[in-house]
Amino acid sequence: MRSHGCGDLRRDAVDQTVQLCGWVDRRRDHGGLIFLDLRDRSGTIQITVDPELAGNLRNETVLQVVGRVQLRPEESLNERLATGAVEVIASQLTVLNAIKKTLPFAVSVHDDGNVREELRLRHRYLDLRRERMARNLRLRHSTIRAARTFLEGEGFIEVETPILTRSTPEGARDYLVPSRVCGGEWFALPQSPQLFKQLLMVGGLERYYQVARCFRDEDLRADRQPEFTQLDIEVSFLEQEEILDLNERLIAAIWKTAKGIELPLPFPRLTWQEAMDRYGTDRPDTRYGLELVDVSDIATHSGFKVFSGAVAAGGAVKCIAIPGGNEALSNVRIKPGGDVFSEAQAAGAAGLAFIRVIEGVDPETSFDVGGNLVGINTIGAIKDGFTKAQMAELLERSGATPGTLLLFGAGDTATVNKALDRVRQYLARELGLVPAEASNEAWNFLWVVDFPMFGFNSEENRLEALHHPFCAPNPADLGSDPASWAAALPSARAQAYDLVLNGLELGGGSLRIHDSALQRQVLQTIGLPQEEAERQFGFLLEALDLGAPPHGGIAFGLDRMVMLLAGEESIRDTIAFPKTQQARCLLTQAPADVAAQQLRDLHVASTWSDAD
Partner RNA sequence: GGGACUGUAGUUCAACCGGUUAGAGCACCGCCCUGUCACGGCGGAAGUUGCGGGUUCGAAUCCCGUCAGUCCCGCCA
Site for RNA in 398-427 (CB under 7 A): none
Question: Within 10 A of 446 (CB to CB), how many other CB atoms are there?
Answer: 22
- Indicate the helix (H) or strand (E) that contains 449: strand 445-449
Is 81 a binding residue for RNA by CB under 7 A? The answer is yes
Rounded Cα distance, 450 and 426, in Å: 27
Cβ atoms 179, 283 nearer than 8 A: no
Cβ atoms 64, 20 nearer than 8 A: yes
Residues across the chain? 612
Site for RNA in 109-138 (CB under 7 A): 110-112, 114-119, 121
The rounded Cα 280 to chain-centroid distance in angstroms is: 19
* Least distance from RNA to the Cβ atom of residue 142, Å: 24
* Least distance from RNA to the Cβ atom of residue 25, Å: 8
Of 99, 107, 110, residue with least CA distance to 125: 107
* Contacts for 319 with CB less than 8 Å, ≥ 6 apart: 292, 293, 295, 398, 406, 407, 408, 409, 420
> 4, 124, 207, 216: which one contacts RNA (CB under 7 A)?
216
* Contacts for 452 with CB less than 8 Å, ≥ 6 apart: 272, 466, 491, 492, 493, 494
**CA dist 368 → 322, 376, 400 (Å):** 20, 12, 12
Is 104 a binding residue for RNA by CB under 7 A? The answer is yes
Site for RNA in 468-487 (CB under 7 A): 468-469
> 1, 52, 55, 73: which one contacts RNA (CB under 7 A)?
73
Q: x/- site string to RNA, residues 307 to 336, per CB under 7 A?
A: ------------------------------
> 16, 19, 42, 48: which one contacts RNA (CB under 7 A)?
48
Rounded Cα distance, 278 and 292, in Å: 5
> Nearer Cβ to RNA, position 123 or 397?
123
* Least distance from RNA to the Cβ atom of residue 581, Å: 3
Is 586 a binding residue for RNA by CB under 7 A? The answer is yes
Rounded Cα distance, 209 and 558, in Å: 13
Is 55 a binding residue for RNA by CB under 7 A? The answer is no
> Nearer Cβ to RNA, position 213 or 259?
213
State in Å, rounded, how far the first CA of the chain is from the last one. 56
Cβ atoms 25, 43 nearer than 8 A: no
Binding segment for RNA among 27-35, 317-325, 393-401, 439-447 (CB under 7 A)? 27-35
> 8, 277, 368, 464: which one contacts RNA (CB under 7 A)?
464
Rounded Cα distance, 324 and 542, in Å: 61
Report strand pairing: 372-378 vs 353-359. Answer: antiparallel
Is 581 a binding residue for RNA by CB under 7 A? The answer is yes
Cβ atoms 503, 283 nearer than 8 A: yes
Binding segment for RNA among 51-59, 300-308, 330-338, 441-449 (CB under 7 A)? 51-59
* Least distance from RNA to the Cβ atom of residue 459, Å: 7
Binding segment for RNA among 13-21, 107-115, 295-303, 483-491 (CB under 7 A)? 107-115
* Least distance from RNA to the Cβ atom of residue 205, Å: 19
* Least distance from RNA to the Cβ atom of residue 121, Å: 7
* Size of site (CB under 7 A) for RNA: 70
Is 72 a binding residue for RNA by CB under 7 A? The answer is yes
Of 521, 421, 522, 503, residue with least CA distance to 464: 522
* Least distance from RNA to the Cβ atom of residue 572, Å: 6
- DSSP β-bridge partners for residue 497: 449, 509
> Nearer Cβ to RNA, position 133 or 357?
133
> Nearer Cβ to RNA, position 59 or 401?
59
> 19, 105, 414, 504: which one contacts RNA (CB under 7 A)?
105
Site for RNA in 332-371 (CB under 7 A): 346
> Nearer Cβ to RNA, position 61 or 302?
61
- DSSP β-bridge partners for residue 173: none
Residue 590 backbone phi and psi in degrees, to 5: -85, 145
Is 218 a binding residue for RNA by CB under 7 A? The answer is yes
Rounded Cα distance, 519 and 526, in Å: 11
Cβ atoms 470, 198 nearer than 8 A: yes
> 14, 53, 95, 106: which one contacts RNA (CB under 7 A)?
106
* Least distance from RNA to the Cβ atom of residue 9, Å: 13
Residue 200 backbone phi and psi in degrees, to 5: -65, -30
Is 10 a binding residue for RNA by CB under 7 A? The answer is no
Torsion from C-alpha of 421, 425, 430, 432, nearest 10 degrees: 130
Q: Site residues (CB under 7 A) for RNA?
A: 26, 28-33, 35, 37, 46, 48, 56, 58-59, 72-73, 75-78, 80-81, 84, 87, 102-106, 110-112, 114-119, 121, 168, 170-173, 191-192, 194, 216, 218-224, 346, 459, 464-469, 570, 572, 580-582, 584, 586
